[in-house]
Amino acid sequence: MLQAIVAILYFANKVLLSLNKKAGWQIGLLASVFAIAYFVSIKLYLLVGLELGFFAILVFGLINHEQELKYEKALYSVMFVLLVFLYFVLKNSTFLEFLISVDFILAIYFLAKKNKTTGWIIMLIGHLMMAYFTYTKQQYFFATMQILSIGVAVFAISRKKINLY
């Protein structure tokens, strides 16, 4: 059940962000809270740490939605702490987990900084890797939602290319 809640909330988060809606950041924060509980329940502690970082970056995106960038030094600090965390925690993780983690951090970072095309391209790559990873962990619903999120990323990229926002 928790898997479905996380997957659906993150899917809604991406749909709303692709439409440049502030609610996307708010839904993302809620999804992050549920994701922390979900990843603790299945003992994927690397992703718990990653979600804590996402939460901070999502707060930054929410604060800066449709505004001039504020608190950019705080965002850089969160990124630095997250990368140090990943360096120490990932020693027992696979290279794929490392790539997924760094990919999503960079995607959310670029979206928060309003570099949307780059953010969505990186997000698309992350969803491809996460779909494979979650499928191999037999998290089929979550893997399916990752595939649907690939479609959202493609939509966001194509929407940006034709200047709809």
The pLDDT of residue 31 is 94
> Is the CB of residue 84 less than 8 Å from the CB of residue 114?
no
Task: Please tell me the least confidently modeled range out of 6-15, 97-106, 133-142.
Answer: 97-106
Residues 18 and 34 sit within 8 Å (Cβ to Cβ): no
- pLDDT score recorded for residue 66: 65
Inform me whether the pLDDT recorded for 150 exceeds 90.
yes
User: Do the Cβ atoms of 149 and 129 come closer than 8 Å?
Assistant: no
| Most confident by average pLDDT, 31-45, 116-130, 132-146 | 116-130
Report residue 27 as tokens. Answer: 């839904």
Structural domain count of the chain: 1
At 146, list the tokens.
Answer: 């990752």
pLDDT one-digit tens code per residue, 30-69: 999 999 998 889 877 777 777 877 787 788 778 876 666 5
CA distance 9 to 47: 16
Binned at pLDDT 50, 70 and 90, residue 165 comes out as: very low
Residue 16's domain comprises 2-161
Backbone angles phi, psi at 163, to 5 degrees: 55, 50
pLDDT-wise least confident of 1-10, 72-81, 125-134: 72-81
Split at pLDDT 50, 70, 90, the class of 29 is very high
Question: In the numeric block, which tokens belong to residue 11?
Answer: 């899917």
Read off the pTM.
Answer: 0.74
Say how far apart CA 57 and CA 61 lie, in whole Å: 6
Question: What mean pLDDT do residues 89-101 have?
Answer: 75
Measure the N-to-C terminal CA separation of the chain; round to a whole number of Å.
Answer: 35
